[in-house]
Amino acid sequence: MSENTGAPSAENPETGEVLQYPHDGGNEGPIVIANEFADVVVRKVETRNGVRLEIWSPKRGTAIRYDAVALDCLSYQEPEFITGLLARNPGA
């Protein structure tokens, strides 16, 4: 067993892939964004159809990948649209 316990990691339940959190907040590895309500792991992934941004919720066990067009679409949404998304009850 390794003595190194300083690198937190998370396992993607869909693929079993172990994601190592970045040590220095740099560009290597996934980015973890968390607060008292939620935590997500964001990372850039290469697919057969090009680069995607993957957003994974370890708590919910859900993930989604967005291409540049979808991300651009998010960039010009009105705040009310995002408020509506936050009001939804996932799984209902």
In a domain, 1, yes or no: no
In a domain, 63, yes or no: yes
In a domain, 33, yes or no: yes
What count of Cα atoms within 13 Å lies in the side-chain half-sphere of residue 92?
Answer: 4
In a domain, 74, yes or no: yes
* Domain housing 16: 9-87
Q: What is the pLDDT of residues 2-26, one digit of tens each?
A: 444 455 566 665 677 776 655 555 5
Q: What is the pLDDT of residues 36-66, one digit of tens each?
A: 989 999 999 999 999 999 999 998 889 999 9
The span from the CA of 50 to the CA of 67, in Å, is 8
In a domain, 92, yes or no: no
Domain count, the chain: 1
Q: Output the CA torsion sign for 61, 10, 74, 82.
A: positive
